[in-house]
Chain A
Amino acid sequence: MADADNRPGEEEEEEEEIDETAYKTMKDAVLFAIDVSPTMLQRPKAEDKKADRDSPTSAALKCAYQLMQQRIISNPNDMMGILLFGTEKTDLKDGDSTFQHCYLLADLDVPSAQDVKRLRDMVENEEEAEQILKPAKDGASLATVLFCANQIFTTKAPNFSSRRLFLVTDNDYPVKVKADKDTAITRARDLYDLGCTIDLFPISQPDHSFDRSRFYDDLVYPSSPSDAIASTTKIAKSGEGISLLRQLLSSINSKAAPRRALFTLPLELGPDLRIGVKGYILIKRQEHAKSCYVWVGGEKPQIVSSSTSHMADDTARVVEKTELRKAYKFGGDAITFTPEEIIKIRQAFGDPVIRIIGFKPMSCLPIWANTNKATFIYPSETDFIGSTRVFSALQQKLLKSKKMGLVWFIPRRNASPTLGALVPAEEMTNEDGEQTMPPGLWLIPLPFADDLRQFPEQADKPLKTTDELTDKMRVIIEQLQLPKGVYDPAKYPNPTLQWFYRILQAMALEEELPEVPDDKTIPRFKQIDKRCGEYIQDYGKEFEAAYAQVAKSSFPHRGRATGKRASVEPDDEKPKSKRVKKEPKVKEEIGEGVSDEQMAQFNDKGQISKQTVAVLKQYLAARGKSATGLKAELVERVQKHLEGIGL
């Protein structure tokens, strides 16, 4: 694929963060197989008012549509396809009719704008959908469907490390005679041998609940021997309180990305006691695609892929990678090491490991001691038998005693060692009993002394709050708690990302551009006003009083409070909206907010020469004074001005 993130001419940087790129190259292909049968096309009865309007098939299509859009954002290199089965029409886009009653709605590929459009038309335009969604009299044979999927995976995604068939159906016994079942079982095993997994999304009808054991338990394989439960998905129910669509979406979302481990490492609890763990990235900032080059010389714009070769600057000779030497700049020169030496330098800290150094109470881990995202750690029996029980004992003990482990962590060879906190996490579930946060340990990288920045020096001794004022503020805080007092990321889609892809999608489909972004991160001002307006005004009054008090005691020699250039200005009863509009202007006039009073304070404390030249110049310019000359002259001029206005 095109490495679009490398700009031409950019110097190659050292490979420190290889982890995530390696992570991405594990590509995933998902093929939806959606059953089209009379029962799947039946809409729920009209008497359920709140719930379903969708037939199971159309709910499945909506899910596929949503997943496709989502994957374009989150996994831009991964493939997706949609296969309908049981349709009257047979069409696999290649003229072949071996696979009767299979209809390939979207071929397995990285989705194109056209695929998205086509799918949306299906979802939004019922007439169009009806053309295709006509069930065949006898339905399709499941063995055929599985072999069809086999062929699609083999040809379209031959060497993808993850290939998954999402099977959506309400038929828990899709064969008539046992021989057909045996064929289906063999075809399912073929898929398994091919390295594809079948993820079944079963649907129960009001009059028939889906029973896996009748048929599908012989076709679906556990994803790992110890993990039978994760291989089965909850059965969605049609025609019930929560809509089928929502249930399906939630099931499919949990499978949206294949579970990929970032690393497999030993977790060392002490000398000679190691267990196996895998690390997963469960939280990672999703960025939108970087811009790439598009070739506009042809009929249609085409994505350009680029490859890099290294060239010696002096001779323009092409240089092989093995000829490259690393050199550090030092004292106007280069200090070189051989590749073997570089390895010795970087790998001087031992093999990759997570080693527990000891334990501390959780209170030793303040939130500010954060440098990067955390990695989720879960046990694995592959290398050490008994890992899971020891891990479980550790996790439960840490939870119980509110402790964390301090660990020495080298994620892979060549990586920089870090110290990390091993923090326990409890399993969390939502009201439907679905897992929202898995149980395990989190590895939080800690800052070293080198990573801690000094607290910025403050010019004077800052004012401190009073108890009364704090109390008033506390009321506001208690009034404005988020639901359940927690931050739920699910409620805050990234506005930048959403907007970016909305626009891109509209441009790709040559549609009208949307005008208003939907930004869920904008605070609900109306609610804040309603719930807290009164308390904010209380705070404002108290603030005036407190300010008069503390400012006075802080500067006894100055008769008046340091001006009404209040910026903490709880806007009280008087309509202050005018003031707000005025404010920017005031700011411009006196530039960067250094007022006469503030400057006078600096002067009194002998700090005036500590101000930067820029500040002084701006201050003078804002007052129509000459702002040229040496710093000493500027200071002098400022002091003169201050004298002139009696400060």
Chain B
Amino acid sequence: MTTKEATVYIVDLGRSMGEKRHGREQTDLDWALEYVWDKITNTVASGRKTALMSVIGCRTDDTDLGGVMEEAEGYENLYVYSELKQYLLCDIRMLQDLFKPSETNEGDLLSAVALAVQMIDSKTKNGKGMPLKYERRIIIVTDGRGHIETEDLEQIAAKIKDTDAPIEVVLLGIDFDDPDNGFKEEDKDAQKAKNEDALKSFVEECDGAFGTLAEAIDQLQIPRLKETRPVLSYRGQLTLGDPAKYDSTLTIDVERYPCTMLAKPPTASSFAMRTDLRNISVAGPSTQSSNTIVGEDHPMTDLSAVRNQRVYQVDNQDEPGTKKNVEMGELERGYEYGRTAVHISESDMNVVKLETEQSLSIIGFVKAEECERYLPLSRSNFIIPQKANQPAQLGLSSFIHALYEAECYAVARLVAKNDKPPVVVLLVPRIEVDWEALVDVELPFEEDMRRYKFPPLDRKLTVSGEVIKEHKDLPTEDLTDAMSAYVDAMDLSKFDTDEDGQPAEYAKLEDTYAPLVHRINHIIRWRATHPDPTLPIPPPPSILTKYANPPAELLESSSKPFEKLKLAAKVTKVPPKAKGRGKRNRTERDKPLSGLDIDALLGNPSRVQIDPANLVPSFKQALTASDDLDAIQDACNDMGREIKSLIKLSVGDSGYGRALEALRVMREEMVELEEPEIWNVFIRGLKSEVLEGRLGGNRREMWWKIRGSKYGLVDAKRSLVSEVSEEEALEFLKS
């Protein structure tokens, strides 16, 4: 839970705001709105009911004080657009129409402030008139070109500074002088100069923030981080030894909180477009419902929520190869053990659970430098002493420092809550300037390791076991040296500069922002204020792509070693298949370890018969046996016949798998041989035969499978010589 907020935006809408100044392409108002919209949409996006806001237009054509106070002299040309409330998308839409420069320059900004103070004051107190806990804020954006009455400023300032209910005032001026950033507006209007001074002293009197719009917009670039309250994930003891059985044991009361946690972008839900529905509802006697639709300007009305409907099926034992639907009522929970269904009644579900007791117990210690950095497989957590528990503080502190000094980490077994699965965690000391803690990360179990083997990178082994040190896959000395020079040149650890001008690490964790998270947040907020669907989607803000490439300056300074590296590396891209009829040579065929030429062994047969019992291999061999187009066509005809017969003779779907595999091979080989037409002719024929039921009845499911595997026409994208377009190929699969 975050604290409650009450924010009033005062937006200067005077006629002077409609001007474009200082060579900017947008009006002052549009420029100011960049900031205002960013702030407002951010709050709306949070969806917090406790973030109240309101907007007051200043120097507007009309006057409406929204009932905050009686209309009075000095309060003309102010417009209160809403009470303090949670803003929604419809409020944004409303404001969009209202944020237009007015026809007047009348209207007192400070009256608007007084109004805002009054609004906040009345909204943020309880029934007895006592102020409630709120963050109160007034944000003012103005060009300072209106008339300001400076008489009762002190009174307003005093109210703003009220210690029981202080209000934070932020004033952003358009082209106000800013000595800190060296900005001074030339030929400043005398009235504006006076106003700037008056506003500045007023804001300072209120202990508020006085700045320029330029500065504020600049800062919008930096994504805001969402603050999250730490959530406890373990509260118990860190133990060494078993206190229940042994005398000499050690226990420290600790708590565990997240240290890293992936921020997720907002998720979209699926909706269906309402298509025919509108006609139906209009046809009925639905004056009322259409009213509500118009009244709320609800974009949701053309979307309908989607529900997922599930169908449950089991293999039909009576008719092998088919499935039958079963009722939900006949289903119970269970698990799969291989292909055996193990049914466990609801009451027995616990038997498969390992009973455990909440604990964090040390298994042993490991040396820090022997610890492989790639082993941890989870996010990390802080382990700190329990709140206000001094013995725990002292105990954990001694543990942290002892680990640090011994250059060791602890390995421990963690059960976060009773009956939760135990995990093995690595406990690492972390000592910062202001605080210290243990940090834990999860380590893999035996089952989590996949033991794939890979050949060594620094030497080559032959089949006979010989070690080779020179090989095209091994770096030459030149390459090794060039790589070393390049890696050293591209060092980032001192590439940045800190506030004191000292060299600092580039791309520190805290300087990097999750690109997708902010991209999606940004674009949702953008769309909220740019509902026109014809507008192109803007690119992501540059700060999100800052680390997508090496810094240009560094690349430039390392260009020499880089050129050397390129030269020594001699990397060449494998060219896309050479054009022309891809003839495959017998000599290119893969050979067994011994390198034996099997075709020669068989006397290089020039024709191989397709053998239904050995379909795929004999097809492949037939294709390699001859480059003759007729022979290829013959092989494909035979293959095609076998495929059709597999489908035709299939009991249920029993033959479909084999047919699919044969289709895959045939399609692949035809692409390889650059003869897509042979395949395309065949698959067109097969499609009609399947769909027309000419292959032993209803074989629609077979077509679904072909479609699902995408074994459709070979288009020009896949094979250059194909005359089938991509669209045609897509259409072929769809229909």
Q: Is the CB of A334 within 8 A of B379?
A: no
Interface-side segment among A87-95, A125-133, A501-509, A635-643: A501-509
A333 neighbours in B (Cβ, 8 Å): 88-90, 298-300
Nearest neighbor of A70 in chain B, beta-carbon distance: B447
A522 to B562, CA, bound (A): 52
Q: Is the CB of B401 within 8 A of A301?
A: no
B712 neighbours in A (Cβ, 8 Å): none
- Residue B237 at the chain A interface, CB threshold 8 Å: yes
Interface-side segment among B7-15, B204-212, B435-443: B435-443
B364 neighbours in A (Cβ, 8 Å): 480-482, 523
- Residue A274 at the chain B interface, CB threshold 8 Å: yes
Restricting to B362-412, which residues have a CB under 8 Å from any CB of A? Answer: 362-367, 370-380, 382, 384-403, 405-406, 408-411
- Contact of A568 (CB < 8 Å), options: B395, B510, B525: B395
Interface-side segment among A166-174, A542-550, A617-625: A542-550
Q: Is the CB of A310 within 8 A of B307?
A: yes
Q: Is the CB of B509 within 8 A of A408?
A: no
User: Residues 569-591 of chain A: 1 if any B CB is under 8 Å from the residue's CB, otherwise 0?
Assistant: 11111011100100000000000
Q: Is the CB of B515 within 8 A of A389?
A: no
- Residue A182 at the chain B interface, CB threshold 8 Å: yes
Q: Is the CB of B331 within 8 A of A470?
A: no
Known: A444-B374, A481-B367. A306 touches B593 (CB 8 A): no
Interface-side segment among A43-51, A57-65, A135-143, A344-352: A344-352
In the assembled complex, how far is the CB of residue A583 from the closest CB belonging to chain B, in whole angstroms? 9
Q: Is the CB of B253 within 8 A of A536?
A: no
Known: A359-B491, A503-B352. A569 touches B452 (CB 8 A): no
B268 neighbours in A (Cβ, 8 Å): 14, 326-328, 342
A333 to B620, CA, bound (A): 58
Known: A348-B540, A406-B492. A485 touches B367 (CB 8 A): yes
- Residue A245 at the chain B interface, CB threshold 8 Å: no
A337 neighbours in B (Cβ, 8 Å): 523, 527
Nearest neighbor of A410 in chain B, beta-carbon distance: B548
User: Residues 92-117 of chain A: 1 if any B CB is under 8 Å from the residue's CB, otherwise 0?
Assistant: 00000000000000000111111110
Restricting to A501-534, which residues have a CB under 8 Å from any CB of B? Answer: 501, 503-505, 507-508, 513, 517, 519, 521-523, 525, 528-529, 532-534
Q: Is the CB of A270 within 8 A of B513?
A: no
Interface-side segment among A31-39, A236-244, A457-465: A457-465
A263 to B523, CA, bound (A): 29
B303 neighbours in A (Cβ, 8 Å): 325, 327, 334, 336
A485 neighbours in B (Cβ, 8 Å): 365-367, 370, 408
User: Residues 324-363 of chain B: 1 if any A CB is under 8 Å from the residue's CB, otherwise 0?
Assistant: 0011001111111111111110000101111000000111
In the assembled complex, how far is the CB of residue A525 from the closest CB belonging to chain B, in whole angstroms? 4
- Residue B29 at the chain A interface, CB threshold 8 Å: no
A501 to B337, CA, bound (A): 8
A76 to B336, CA, bound (A): 8
Say what secondary structure dominates the interface of chain B: mixed
Nearest neighbor of A438 in chain B, beta-carbon distance: B454
A150 to B661, CA, bound (A): 14
A182 to B592, CA, bound (A): 13
A305 neighbours in B (Cβ, 8 Å): 312-314, 323
- Contact of B331 (CB < 8 Å), options: A304, A349, A371, A423: A304
- Residue B247 at the chain A interface, CB threshold 8 Å: yes
- Contact of A74 (CB < 8 Å), options: B323, B447, B569: B447
- Residue A387 at the chain B interface, CB threshold 8 Å: yes
- Contact of B389 (CB < 8 Å), options: A76, A230, A450, A598: A598
B579 neighbours in A (Cβ, 8 Å): none
A568 neighbours in B (Cβ, 8 Å): 250-253, 391-392, 394-396
Nearest neighbor of B437 in chain A, beta-carbon distance: A455
B660 neighbours in A (Cβ, 8 Å): 158-159
Nearest neighbor of B533 in chain A, beta-carbon distance: A338
Known: A154-B658, A254-B453, A296-B330. A458 touches B446 (CB 8 A): no
Q: Is the CB of B390 within 8 A of A551?
A: yes
A10 to B588, CA, bound (A): 53
Q: Is the CB of A72 within 8 A of B317?
A: no
B242 neighbours in A (Cβ, 8 Å): 523, 525, 528
- Contact of A285 (CB < 8 Å), options: B274, B432, B448: B448
- Residue B294 at the chain A interface, CB threshold 8 Å: no
Nearest neighbor of B663 in chain A, beta-carbon distance: A159
- Residue A298 at the chain B interface, CB threshold 8 Å: yes
A566 neighbours in B (Cβ, 8 Å): 391
User: Residues 466-490 of chain B: 1 if any A CB is under 8 Å from the residue's CB, otherwise 0?
Assistant: 0000001111100110111011101
Q: Is the CB of B260 within 8 A of A447?
A: yes
User: Residues 274-288 of chain A: 1 if any B CB is under 8 Å from the residue's CB, otherwise 0?
Assistant: 110000111111100
B307 neighbours in A (Cβ, 8 Å): 310-313
Nearest neighbor of A385 in chain B, beta-carbon distance: B572
Q: Is the CB of B386 within 8 A of A593?
A: yes
Nearest neighbor of B249 in chain A, beta-carbon distance: A571
- Residue B305 at the chain A interface, CB threshold 8 Å: yes
Q: Is the CB of B448 within 8 A of A423?
A: no
Interface-side segment among B98-106, B162-170, B550-558: B550-558
In the assembled complex, how far is the CB of residue A516 from the closest CB belonging to chain B, in whole angstroms? 11
In the assembled complex, how far is the CB of residue B411 from the closest CB belonging to chain A, in whole angstroms? 5
Interface-side segment among B135-143, B609-617, B691-699: B609-617
A419 to B550, CA, bound (A): 12
Nearest neighbor of A534 in chain B, beta-carbon distance: B248
A308 to B342, CA, bound (A): 24
In the assembled complex, how far is the CB of residue A547 from the closest CB belonging to chain B, in whole angstroms? 6
Interface-side segment among B67-75, B594-602, B632-640, B673-681: B594-602
- Residue B428 at the chain A interface, CB threshold 8 Å: yes
Known: A220-B592, A328-B268, A593-B389. A489 touches B657 (CB 8 A): no
A13 to B483, CA, bound (A): 44
In the assembled complex, how far is the CB of residue B510 from the closest CB belonging to chain A, in whole angstroms? 5
A517 neighbours in B (Cβ, 8 Å): 354
Known: A326-B268, A367-B439. A392 touches B341 (CB 8 A): no
- Residue A11 at the chain B interface, CB threshold 8 Å: yes
Known: A154-B615, A232-B593, A486-B370. A384 touches B573 (CB 8 A): yes
- Residue B456 at the chain A interface, CB threshold 8 Å: yes
Q: Is the CB of B435 within 8 A of A330?
A: no
- Residue B502 at the chain A interface, CB threshold 8 Å: no
User: Residues 307-332 of chain A: 1 if any B CB is under 8 Å from the residue's CB, otherwise 0?
Assistant: 11111111101110001111111111
A390 to B571, CA, bound (A): 8
A487 to B390, CA, bound (A): 32
A513 to B400, CA, bound (A): 43
- Contact of A192 (CB < 8 Å), options: B305, B479, B573, B590: B590
Q: Is the CB of B602 within 8 A of A571?
A: no
- Contact of A565 (CB < 8 Å), options: B248, B391, B410, B443: B391
Known: A271-B555, A297-B326, A360-B505. A401 touches B269 (CB 8 A): no
B128 neighbours in A (Cβ, 8 Å): none
Q: Is the CB of A231 within 8 A of B593?
A: yes
A373 neighbours in B (Cβ, 8 Å): 377-378
Q: Is the CB of B344 within 8 A of A507?
A: yes
Nearest neighbor of A537 in chain B, beta-carbon distance: B248
Q: Is the CB of A442 within 8 A of B373?
A: yes
A565 to B403, CA, bound (A): 26
Which 9 A-B pairs rank lowest in CB-CB distance, beginning with the nearest? A568-B395, A294-B334, A473-B402, A331-B89, A438-B454, A358-B492, A158-B657, A393-B475, A533-B248
- 23 pairs, CB–CB < 8 Å, chain A vs chain B: A12-B306, A14-B268, A113-B338, A190-B614, A221-B592, A254-B452, A257-B452, A273-B571, A286-B447, A301-B343, A315-B277, A367-B426, A371-B260, A386-B571, A389-B476, A393-B483, A442-B373, A482-B411, A489-B444, A523-B413, A567-B251, A568-B251, A572-B248
Known contacts A113-B342, A332-B88, A466-B398, then 19 further A-B pairs from the complex at CB < 8 Å, ordered by chain A residue:
A154-B616, A189-B592, A213-B594, A291-B335, A301-B334, A311-B307, A315-B277, A331-B91, A332-B90, A366-B428, A372-B377, A417-B548, A423-B374, A474-B406, A501-B337, A521-B363, A521-B422, A525-B246, A533-B241
